[in-house]
Amino acid sequence: MEHITTPKVENVKLLDRYTNRKAANGTLYLTATHLIYVDASAEVRKETWILHHHIATVEKLPLTTAGYPLLIHCKNFHMAHFVIGQERDCHEVYTSLLKLSQPVKPEELYAFSYNPKMSKENREIGWKLIDLKVDYQRMGIPNDYWEITDVNKDYEVCNTYPPEIVVPKAANKAVVIGSSRFRSRGRIPVLSYLYKENNAAICRCSQPLSGFSARCLEDEQMLQAIREANPGSPFMYVVDTRPKLNAMANRAAGKGYENEDNYDNIRFKFIGIENIHVMRNSLQKLLEVCETKSPSMSDFLTGLENSGWLRHIKAVMDAGVFLAKAVKDEKASVLVHCSDGWDRTAQVCSLACLLLDPFYRTFKGFMVLIEKEWIAMGHKFSHRCGHLDGDPKEVSPVFTQFIECVWQLMQQFPCTFEFNERFLLEIHDHVYSCQFGNFLGTCHKEREDLKIFEKTHSLWPFLLQKKQELRNPLYRGFTAYKELQPNTLPFSFQFWCGMYNRFDKGMHPKQCVLDHLLSCVSQKMKLEDNASELENKLPFLDGPLPSEACSLSKVGYAASKTPMLNTPQDYEVEPPPALSNGASAGDVDVVSDVDRKHKENLLHHQGLHDLSDAIDVLDSKTKDGKLQHH
């Protein structure tokens, strides 16, 4: 609170970026964690909350006739344009927000003060919810070829890897230590995913310290052990996700890439994903396009193309597809790296896992995937997300790109993910919010040093509590789909309005189809519960007997198959002529209140049968590759 000199400013205007409506007028509050704007001009109390950690930039604009403008850009792509009446108030809010949004010490982050009134035991249970050992066991590890080793328990091998890693059984400690000395930052080849169908593995590491001619016997033995752990293939791929020019430039610094002449039976391939600086600039150009007021279609499309953003998304997706095809179709193991193995490597390994394994498309599986490929393996969230006041050149939307790639997959395969778009947005928000401890720091060792597991809470139990509103109503179950083979031609990629223009009024359809479907499914569950409760009461009331209720269920099911009953909206206008006891409207003059309620529940239930039929049709079209996206 010492950074807040003016906690309250009245008569502050909030401008709307897209509409020409009159600016809101209200009061701006600064708290220890949030900026809160209360609109006094609204008939109903309306509040806008902005978490300090979400603020990316605060900018004072030139004086206008209305007052002193303050422009706030957020890391979750929210933008707020305030106009403050007095220069002094504007300056004090500006300086306060600069300090509040850029803490210097990790202990100042929101997670260390966030208190959801949870017991110590429940907090500890929350952190144990995701156990990576269980995921490796699901893959069949340990086995004859792979083992979980604690060789890194004191971080002697690599201080950015977790204490336990999965390596080939044939690679002894001397090989592991020797390989670590030949890999940038000691990040040796370790297993990410084992495809049980054919023993092909996806492994990851950092670039070798090869320079122009250096080689390392232990590193060569490590790659040989990975290749021989897959007896079904005579070779393995080594994939460098960088553009070839970038990798060659690293040779001059004593780093570089593997020489095929030094490693037995490897096939080397460059993928060509650009570095963090290119990605940061690309996102900035994209946001400039999104913030253009009333752009023409030509200007918008030209700006989108010039940003290169979707081109980069396609490059990441292509890399993930290559890995998945190599493992599944060619039955070959793959070793992946970029420079240090914590940015592009995390992106493509995660995507390959999603394409190959339906478990990772469930709520729990997606959490495991993020823990395994991003958090445990040392993606530098603190630096890439700008959690602390540091080098702005280290900030880059690496994780944002991964989340968007998942969303792009959801557009092509709408029935294969258990979760919906809102789930992705929630995770993206909390990567930047610093409200939970999962994404703080840069690696496991740093999180231990910060006592994250003792002093903060995990995000995953919080999301699972909201599971009902984050689920995908089109999801067809774990076994409905196995591997995914997305189309990566340019026309397959869409601009994600729901991410980059999420907070802009008037930018979205008035009714999202999936949201409506989710509410229908939720309504169906409630109605089924009501119907069950009413049927239990029937024997004690003057109404139809249980046997008659059974006949009614059959009639209801038959009616649900008729073309006249389509959606729940149909019943709002004119309910079909079926009553709770199965008689026609002309046969009965008096219907009890209980029967009437029972009838209404069943009629809604009938409409929701057709909802299920619609999902089945959509599902079959998806499988046939006939689903069209607009």
Cβ distance 304 to 171 under 8 Å?
no
CA angle 383, 393, 102 (to 5 degrees): 55
- Mean pLDDT throughout 530-545? 75
Confidence at residue 19, expressed as pLDDT on a 0 to 100 scale:
64
Residues with Cβ within 8 Å of residue 619, at least 6 apart in sequence: 415, 474, 476, 480
- Cβ–Cβ under 8 Å, residues 258 and 210: yes
* Angle at which helices 309-328 and 398-412 cross, to 10°: 70
Q: Which two tokens stand for residue 110?
A: 């929101």
Active-site entry in 203, 338, 405, 443: 338
Which amino acid appears at position 411 of this protein? Q
- How far the first Cα of the chain sits from its last, in Å, is 49
Low-confidence winner among 37-46, 351-360, 581-590 (lowest mean pLDDT): 581-590
Per-residue confidence band for 618, with pLDDT thresholds at 50, 70 and 90: low
Cα dihedral 452, 454, 459, 460 in deg (nearest 10):
120
Query: Mean per-residue pLDDT for 533-560?
Result: 58
Task: Sheet containing 34-39: give its strands across.
Answer: 46-51, 34-39, 24-30, 8-15, 79-84, 68-74, 55-60
Tell me the DSSP string of 150-210. -TTTTSSS-TTS-S-EEEETT--HHHHHHHHHTBGGG---EEEEEETTTTEEEEE---B--
CB 473 within 8 A of CB 514: yes
Cis previous bond, 142, omega within 30 = yes
What local confidence, expressed as pLDDT, does residue 510 receive?
Answer: 53
Sheet of 236-240, strands arranged across: 190-195, 200-204, 333-337, 236-240, 266-270
**Is the pLDDT assigned to residue 64 strictly greater than 70?**
yes
Please state the pTM of the whole predicted model. Answer: 0.83
Longest Cα pair distance anywhere in the chain, in angstroms?
Answer: 95
pLDDT above 80: residue 65: yes
- Residue 541 is predicted with a pLDDT of 65
Average pLDDT value for residue range 159-181:
97
Which region holds residue 307: left if phi is over 0, alpha if psi is between -120 and 50, else beta? alpha
Total Cβ atoms within 10 A of residue 78:
18
pLDDT, one tens digit per residue, over 599-614 is 444 444 444 455 555 5
Q: Where are the alpha helices (DSSP H) in 385-512?
A: 398-412, 421-433, 444-449, 452-455, 459-465, 467-470, 497-500
C-alpha 11/C-alpha 4 separation (Å) is 19
CA 272 centroid distance within chain: 24
Handedness of CA 336, 160, 398, 148 (dihedral sign): positive
**Which amino acid belongs to residue 582?**
G
Q: Are 97 and 55 within 8 A, CB to CB?
A: yes
pLDDT at 567: 34
Which tens digit of pLDDT belongs to each residue from 268-315? 999 999 999 999 999 999 999 998 888 899 999 999 999 999 999 999
> How far apart are the C-alpha atoms of 547 and 225, rounded to whole Å?
68
Please give the Cα distance from 605 to 531 (Å, whole number): 9
pLDDT of residue 458 exceeding 80: yes
What is the distance between the alpha carbons of residues 425 and 399, in angstroms, rounded to a whole number? 12
CB hemisphere CA count around 319 (13 angstroms)? 32
* Per-residue pLDDT at 563 exceeds 50: no
21, amino acid identity: R
The question of whether 338 is a catalytic residue gets the answer yes
**What are the start-end ranges of the H helices in 102-131?**
120-127
Query: Is 453 strand, coil or helix?
Result: helix
* Residue 99 CB neighbour total at 10 angstroms: 15
Structure tokens belonging to residue 271: 């993928």
For residue 544, the SS3 value is coil
Least confident of 63-67, 75-79, 233-237, 491-495: 63-67
Q: Do 454 and 121 touch, CB atoms closer than 8 A?
A: no
Query: Per-residue confidence at 16, pLDDT binned at 50, 70, 90?
Result: confident
Neighbours of 522 (CB within 10 A): 14
Rounded to the nearest 10 degrees, how much is the dihedral formed by the CA atoms of 222, 228, 232, 235? 50
And the tokens for 309?
A: 């953003």
Residues 6+ apart with CB under 8 A from 541: 592, 594
